[in-house]
Amino acid sequence: MSPRYLSAAVVLLVVGFTSIASAQRGGRGVRPTGDSSVTDPELLGLHKEFVSKAEKLAAEYERKKNLDGAREVYESMTRLIPEYEAAQLGLKRILNAQSTQDRKVVEVQANRDWQDTQIIIVKGNPVHIEAKGTWIVVNETDADGLVIPKEMDPKNNKIKLGTLIGMIVSQPDVSKLKPFPIGNGTDFIAPETGRLVLRMFDVEPRDNKGSMSVLVQSTFGRP
């Protein structure tokens, strides 16, 4: 089956099962989807048919290394049947595979502005980042940065001085983009697709010293 037809099958399954759930809520006093008290033989049969087809579809996606497709199916199953353990485990397995499929280690210099990692982060994919080493900004610190007394920080920044920060560049005007703290490590689901850039958090970095070794793991986009 081609990817286009597989995607169409996902949509049909989700639409069909959503209709079932709506019927359960609106008719014959039957409780919402997933409730073990549902005893109507026809509804139970439809439940089983959906689960069976969805699991086969997810397995076919996984076999073809289509992690996005498999993830979509498992996410649909967990939304409609939150307590279904097999779907939960399948989704966890796919997220783990996506977070470790590609990896790259880059060096981030303390005395430079934004530094391009040449990594394309893809919207919706899990991302794992961890940093090792120390650098100097006023004092030596790791990637978590230094705590600055409030009286010395007129802008009252929530990000500590010397913290490793990142930004996903998805548009030419970077002034509209919001940096996020990374510190010694972070895990997140990419909110958008773009190139990952990194730097030390400091207004004027040129007098800083040292560098940080940063590991990035995810399923990277291709240029």
Residue whose structure tokens are 């014959």: 28
Domain made up of 102-218: CATH architecture: Sandwich (2.60)
More confident residue, 81 or 34: 81
Structural domain spans, the chain: 3-98, 102-218
DSSP states along 80-131: HSTT-HHHHHHHHHHHHHHHHSEEEEEEEETTSS-EEEEEEE-TT-EEEEEE
pLDDT of residue 38: 60
pLDDT over threshold 50, residue 61 = yes
Does this model's pTM top 0.75? My answer is no
- Per residue in 65-83, pLDDT tens? 898 899 899 998 888 888 8
Tens of pLDDT along 194-219?
A: 999 999 999 899 999 999 999 999 99
